[in-house]
């Protein structure tokens, strides 16, 4: 059943994948909304023409087509297993057109400030206007402000963050050091190996590297299809590690450090080329940085190199400049959000897209949007489920698997995907009571 209340209106901040996905769910729930996007079109990090874009020519998805696409809106048949960034952008925009998101979108307009007056939010816009909304959904993305490490000394060459890397022309024929072993760091190091004079790659610890294909299938699909072949998770992980090693994906065999964590205790590095290029001498692995001195970089193993450019692929900080920080409760430098969506202390604002798991976009996009839709519909009805959820939000501490992952800033919002899905469904169903 759909619940219509013309007096209820929601403001979506950001037109990236999550803003688009939420827009669809609101439309299908007959909930009125405006979506504000500071750029001239939708797409977020996939919008190569915008400042928020995080793409370069060779970039492809690290999650395969089968679990990146929304289940009831498949990608075109001619898309490869791992689409490139342009294909992903086209897909997102076609999704937005299909589900009427464009008709709710206001472009070239930034949300400057949010003020709460009892149960209403006043939204100040970059065009000078102020509008009132019952609910806010923050979808401005987790890749807004670059995060840099703090090394002693100074570097006299060029410093880039992975968010600044747009073209190999920026590093052509230069000596480049890429810092960071996440997917961005590994992808950029591989790209640089084709264009730079020399490429070094600095990592703090040992990591597990996943091939993109096993047995002719995208690796995540191959892993899912193992099903209950083994009697325990430990046996399953041991088998996967053995297959990866036979396929040439054990970093120790290439002189890298042995990982100090289980295979699934860090966000997967999906890259079939990083170890290949290390093995061919195209990428030279280095330890963690000790200090900087001019264009000389010293490492903790007492070696040093001379480089022209450093690219820091060292992550991002959360950035919500439009809301008073004191309004939110914080934990370890990020907002303390119930199931990574709802502030425990505020009942009419949501943060959408600030959870990460070893899965593609499509698996969680609809569920998270449906959760918010169910919340608003329960609010309109003032249902028993709504009151139960408000109590749960303040008192429950559901197990999302967060304590299993390695201790790093990157993993503060990492969850066990299946535990997250189970919790989100449970609370969505509670709201639907």
Q: Return the DSSP state at 225.
A: T
Q: Return the DSSP state at 170.
A: G
Closest CA to 290 of 277, 303, 279: 303
Structure tokens at 255: 């002189």
- Kindly give, in sequence order, each residue whose CB lies less than 8 Å from that of residue 288, ignoring residues fewer than 6 positions away: 202, 203, 204, 299, 300
Q: How far apart are CA 168 and CA 58, in angstroms?
A: 9
Closest CA to 47 of 96, 98, 8: 96
What residues form DSSP beta bridges with 116?
Answer: 121
Looking at residue 1, what is its pLDDT?
34
Looking at residue 6, what is its pLDDT?
54
H/E stretch holding 199: strand 198-202
The model carries a pTM of: 0.95
Looking at residue 80, what is its pLDDT?
98
Q: How far apart are CA 107 and CA 259, in angstroms?
A: 45
pLDDT in tens, the chain (433 residues): 344 455 799 999 999 999 999 999 999 999 999 999 999 999 999 999 999 999 999 999 999 999 999 999 999 999 999 999 999 999 999 999 999 999 999 999 999 999 999 899 999 999 999 999 999 999 999 998 999 999 999 999 999 999 999 999 999 999 999 999 999 999 999 999 999 999 999 999 999 999 999 999 999 999 999 999 999 999 999 999 999 999 999 999 999 999 999 999 999 999 999 999 999 999 999 999 999 999 999 999 999 999 999 999 999 998 999 999 999 999 888 889 999 999 999 999 999 989 989 988 987 899 999 999 999 999 999 999 999 999 999 999 999 998 999 999 889 889 999 999 999 999 999 999 9
Q: Do 18 and 42 touch, CB atoms closer than 8 A?
A: no
Q: What is the dihedral of CA 61, 65, 69, 75, to 10 degrees?
A: 110
Q: How far apart are CA 33 and CA 101, in angstroms?
A: 10
Radius of gyration of the chain (CA): 23
Structure tokens at 59: 């970039």
What count of other Cβ atoms lies within 10 Å of the Cβ of residue 30?
15
What residues form DSSP beta bridges with 86?
Answer: none
Looking at residue 362, what is its pLDDT?
87
Looking at residue 409, what is its pLDDT?
87
User: Which spans in 81-224 are helix H?
Assistant: 85-98, 183-193, 219-224
Q: Do 79 and 89 touch, CB atoms closer than 8 A?
A: no
Structure tokens at 102: 């464009």
Cβ burial, residue 326 (10 Å; 0-12/13-18/19+) = exposed
Q: How far apart are CA 134 and CA 19, in angstroms?
A: 17
**Domains observed in the chain:** 9-144+318-431 (3.50.50.60), 148-312 (3.50.50.60)
Q: How far apart are CA 31 and CA 133, in angstroms?
A: 12
Looking at residue 2, what is its pLDDT?
43
Structure tokens at 16: 């990236």
What residues form DSSP beta bridges with 154?
Answer: 293
Give how far the C-alpha of residue 120 lies from the chain's centroid of Cα atoms, to the nearest Å: 30
Please provide residue 260's backbone torsions phi and psi, each rounded to the nearest 5 degrees.
Answer: -100, 20
Q: How far apart are CA 350 and CA 214, in angstroms?
A: 38
Please provide residue 277's backbone torsions phi and psi, each rounded to the nearest 5 degrees.
Answer: -75, -30
Total residue count of the chain as it appears in this document:
433
H/E stretch holding 127: none
């Amino acid at each position: 059943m759909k619940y219509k209340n013309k007096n209820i209106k929601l403001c979506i901040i950001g037109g990236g994948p999550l803003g688009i996905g939420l827009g669809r769910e609101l439309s299908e729930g007959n909930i009125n909304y405006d979506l504000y996007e500071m750029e001239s079109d939708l797409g977020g990090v996939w919008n190569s023409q915008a400042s928020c874009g995080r793409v370069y020519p060779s970039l492809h998805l690290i999650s395969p087509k089968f679990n990146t696409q929304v289940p009831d809106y498949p990608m075109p048949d001619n898309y490869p297993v791992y689409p490139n960034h342009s294909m992903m952008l086209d897909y997102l925009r076609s999704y937005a057109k299909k589900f009427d998101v464009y008709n709710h979108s206001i472009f070239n307009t930034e949300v400057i400030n949010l003020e709460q007056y009892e149960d209403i939010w006043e939204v100040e816009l970059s065009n000078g206007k102020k509008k009132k909304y019952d609910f806010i959904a923050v979808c401005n993305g987790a890749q807004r402000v670059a995060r840099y490490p703090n090394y002693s000394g100074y570097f006299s060459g060029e410093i880039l963050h992975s968010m600044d890397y747009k073209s190999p022309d920026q590093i052509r024929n230069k000596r480049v050091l890429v810092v960071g072993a996440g997917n961005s760091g590994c992808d950029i190091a591989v790209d640089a190996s084709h264009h730079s004079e020399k490429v070094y790659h600095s990592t703090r610890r040992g990591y597990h590297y996943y091939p993109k294909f096993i047995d002719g299938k995208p690796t995540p699909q191959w892993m899912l299809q193992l099903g209950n072949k083994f009697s325990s998770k430990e046996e399953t992980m041991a088998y996967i590690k053995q297959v990866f090693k036979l396929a040439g994906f054990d970093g120790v065999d290439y002189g890298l450090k042995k990982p100090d964590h289980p295979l699934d205790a860090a966000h997967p590095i999906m890259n079939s080329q990083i170890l290949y290029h290390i093995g061919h001498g195209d990428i030279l692995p280095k330890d963690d940085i000790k200090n900087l001195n001019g264009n000389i970089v010293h490492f903790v193993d007492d070696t040093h190199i001379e480089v022209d450019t450093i690219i820091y692929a060292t992550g991002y900080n959360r950035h919500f400049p439009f809301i008073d920080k004191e309004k939110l409760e914080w934990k370890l430098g990020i907002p303390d959000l119930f199931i990574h969506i709802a502030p425990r202390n505020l009942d009419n604002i949501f943060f959408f897209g600030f959870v990460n798991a070893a899965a593609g976009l499509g698996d969680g996009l609809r569920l998270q949007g449906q959760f918010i839709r169910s919340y608003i519909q329960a609010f309109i009805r003032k249902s028993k489920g709504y009151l139960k959820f408000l109590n749960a939000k303040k008192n429950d501490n559901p197990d999302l698997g967060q304590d299993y992952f390695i201790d790093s800033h990157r993993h503060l919002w990492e969850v066990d995907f299946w535990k997250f899905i189970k919790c989100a469904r449970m609370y969505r169903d509670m709201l639907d009571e």
